[in-house]
Every structure is written in C-alpha cells, then in structure tokens.
Amino acid sequence: MSGGGLLVAGTTSDAGKSVVTAGICRWLVRRGVKVAPFKGQNMSLNSFVTREGAEIGRAQAMQAQAARVEPTALMNPVLLKPGSDRSSQVVLMGRPVGEMSARGYHGNRQQELFEPVTACLEELRESYDAVICEGAGSPAEINLRRTDIVNMGIARAARLPVLVVGDIDRGGVFAQFFGTTALLDATDQSLVAGYLVNKFRGDVTLLEPGLEMLHGLTGRRTYGVLPYAHGLGIDEEDGLRVSLRGAVRESVVAPPVGEDVLRVAVCAVPLMSNFTDVDALAAEPGVVVRFVDRPEELVDADLVVVPGTRGTVRALAWLRERGLAAALARRAAQGRPVLGICGGFQALGAHIEDDVESRAGEVEGLGLLPVRVRFAREKTLARPVGEALGERVDGYEIHHGVAEVLGGEPFLDGCRVGSVWGTHWHGSLESDGFRRAFLRQVAAQAGRRFVPAPDTSFGALREEQLDRLGDLIEEHADTDGLLRLIEQGPPEGLPFVPPGAPAAR
C-alpha cells in the first residue's frame, strides 16, 4: 500500500517551496513519520552526488537530510543543468543523457519522462509513510501544462493534494493565490487543497480578514502563515539569491576569535555552479564572504575563490573581459591566496581541450597552476575521501574535465603552487578540521591575525537550520490539517474557481 503524500507548489519561483518542503520533512520525522522528499524535475546548477554515484539537485539532498534519510536518485529523477539561455544538460536518474534545447525538451522528451518520474514517486511511496513533493515555478504555467511532470501533472497522476505557497514579502500574494487557482482546469483545481503564506512580517491579525475573503472567493483555506525568518541559509536551487555585492547570508555574523576578520571574494562567473561550497566559509566567525564581478573588488580580499561553473571556457572569457584574470595573476605573483574549485580549478590551469562542454577545442587557461584539462564525454560523479593539511576531507565530484597535474604540491585531487590552490572536490570546506587548517594557511599568507573558531561545526549548524524550518511548520502551520491532507488526500467538494483553463489531458 502506498504511503501518503503532498505536493508543495508555489505561486512563483523562489516562493519558498524548497524550505517549506524541508520544514515539513523535518516536522514529520520528529513525529516519528518515515518521510522522503521528491521533485520530479529540477532545474539547477547546484547539484549533489549520492552514495550510489547519482547526480541530483542539492535542494533534494538538503530535504533528505531534513527527513534524516540518505538521498537517492529516486528523489530527483530529472535534473536540468542549464548551459545557456536555451539549452540544458538532461540528467536522468543521476546520469547525463544529453544536451537539449528548451523547445526540444518541452516538445517531446518531457512527455517521454512522465512514466519514469511517476514510477520513482510510486516506489518512494511504497517505501515511506509519506512523500513530500516539491513543485517547480508555478503550477499555473498554462503554456507548459500539457507536458508537465513536476506540478499538476504529477499531482493528478498520483492523486496528491496540493498546497500552494506564496511569498507575501514580495506583495500581491492574494492575487497570486486566486489567479493560480483560477488558471487551472477543473480537475487540477480539485487537487488544490489550500494555501500557505510565507515570509510574513508584522501582526498576523491584520492579515486574517484577507485570508477569510480568500476562503470565500476560492472555497480553500490557508494552512498557516510563516513569519519572515533570517539566517535560513539552506542550499539554493535556481540561482544566486543575493546581490553580487551583498552578504552571502542574512545570519548575524559572530565576532572573530582573533584580532582580524578574513575577507573572501568569490568571482561570480557565468553559469556558476555549487556556489554553496562557500557556505562553510561564511559560517566561520570572522569570515566575511561576498560575490564580486570587478577586479577592484579583489584588492582588499584575503582569499579569492574561483567557483565551479557549467561553462569553464565561457567563465575564462568572462574573467578576461572583466579584468579579473589579470587581477588573479597579480595576486598569484604577490603570493596572495587563490582557490579554484572544479570549473574554477580548470580555469586556473595552463591548457584546456574542450570538445564536449563548449566545443571550443584548444583554449589557454590562466596558467596559474601546472594542469592540463581534457573534457571527456563521460561525467565524473564520485564521493571521494582523502586527506589534506593533515586533516580528513570528504567531498564530491561533478565534472567532465579530466585534469592532468604536471607539478606543484599535491592538494586533494589537484595541486598547490605557492598561494594558488586547485581541486575538483566540492564540499571539502564542510570538513571542519580541514577548513580550519586551510583558513590558518590563508591568514598566514594574507598577513592577517585571524584565528579560526575552534568549535564551529558546519554539520551542527546545518542541523540547527533544518530544526528551525521544522519549528516554523510546527509553530505556525495547521499541522493537524496538513496531516489530514497527507494521509487522506485532497478534500472532497472543493469548488471550481472560474474561468479555469481548458482541460489539460
């Protein structure tokens, strides 16, 4: 017998679907419910490698952690990794199966994936008491409804109740809730159980008259009003949600342990992927992280990070056009720290041969590390464990580029020359001992009297954040009502809200 389920949809992208899904997972698992997350199709440059070597969206890996289960490819069967405005790499069950244009994908391929996606959801429902599904964008994208495999298409196939989340901080949330419902056909509307307001500031009693009117207009109730919560720095899905010149997170920064802070500048390269690598740095007291796109912004940085990217050759051109390549070369010559991760590591190398990702052929790198990179058609997906700076390091690899290291000191799978470090390993900075040892070396090279905090645990901080998400649901949502939806499905007799859309299937 299949377990219960719920689809968390949103009125817009970034309405809060990912955090609400994670919060519901954490709330349920604390109640003793065996729960798993699911997202049929994810578009993201932030991905993760499961223990079986499958690539999935980082948001689903984070939600699995919230549910206290091991992430698997079943939880995100289709991952789209944009390579341009019009094409993406299609990853099916954790493995790349080709590059497709948006028109080609939404035309035929997406329909072909409907069965595998619904089969994954059913397999999860047979193994868990509840599966909390996350939608994508808005369920009212009527131009895409015919081929939908992530919103109402999956809800209808699995008979899932739908909870629609709206971000009231953006404004217009009542119109969004009403319009989202009224643009669905009658069958889809029958699955929309109600709404959840996210990011509310102020006195909730002032909102209640509007919620009552919304109930009168749609026949659907609101299952909670979540307050605006600062510092929920969980993994992003669709892109960088902060200003390039802003802080990485909104959390209060603890004072430094030593006399100085350490300033980290992250080059905001095109198609930046897994920028979550620097979250562990931002979690350190006294470390200030910002994203930059101009050479003058590197001047006062103690460490510059060149992060991962889905387009190494394109990132190289961007670094050169912006004057950042010359600034990085000056830093290296002055013995000032630079760290390249994955695509950033490749860009720091001497030479690139790419007939796969950009098809640009022979390209000269920045020449700061003695490395030659050849792009292979087979993608490397791995969860390596190693040692660096005398500390254990855990990481994960997601790359087509194969690096031939021709010199320097060994550093994980890459190398180090003076103050320039490079590795393909994502997530290495989440290893607490290694991160502290690395920051001590950076501080020494930068001439800063910075001391890493002796007790910062990135894993513990992540658990605290996930518990805060669970608390938001438990304290501000109608948990009895959510349980009824998960266990019993959509309420009977939900009224039709005109005008509705033409029948989808």
Is 415 known to be catalytic?
no
- Give residue for tokens 């940085």: 301
- Give the list of residues 6+ apart from residue 138 with CB closer than 8 angstroms, or none: 9, 10, 11, 12, 13, 151, 180
> Is residue 342 annotated as a catalytic residue, yes or no?
yes
To the nearest 10°, the Cα dihedral for 105, 111, 117, 121?
130
Q: What angle do CA 186, 14, 19 make, to 5 degrees?
A: 95
Backbone CA torsion sign across 364, 368, 373, 375: negative
The catalytic position among 133, 342, 399, 476 is 342
The alpha carbon of 446 is separated from its chain's Cα centroid by a whole number of angstroms, namely: 31
Q: Scanning the structure block, which residue is given the tokens 């890996």?
A: 61
Helix (H) or strand (E) holding 484: helix 479-488
Alpha-helical (H) ranges within 219-334 are 279-282, 312-321, 324-333
Q: Which residues touch 465 (CB under 8 Å, ≥6 apart)?
A: 231, 232, 233, 234
Name the packing angle between helices 479-488 and 458-476 (round to 10°).
Answer: 90
Q: Give the residues across from 426 on adjacent strands.
A: 396
- How far is residue 478's CA from residue 474's CA, in Å, rounded to a whole number? 8
How many Cα atoms occupy the beta-carbon half-sphere of 208 within 13 Å?
Answer: 4
| 143's tokens | 């131009």
Instruction: Name the DSSP letter for residue 339.
Output: E
Catalytic residue among 399, 400, 424, 426: 426
Contact 83, 271 (CB under 8 A): yes
Amino acid at 262: L
What are 20's two structure tokens? 């609400």
- Cα 213 to Cα 138, 249, 323, 492, distances in angstroms: 22, 36, 55, 21
Rg (CA), the chain: 23
Residue position matching structure tokens 């290296």: 332
Report d(CA 435, CA 456) in Å as an integer. Answer: 10
Largest CA distance in the chain: 71
Catalytic positions are 342, 426
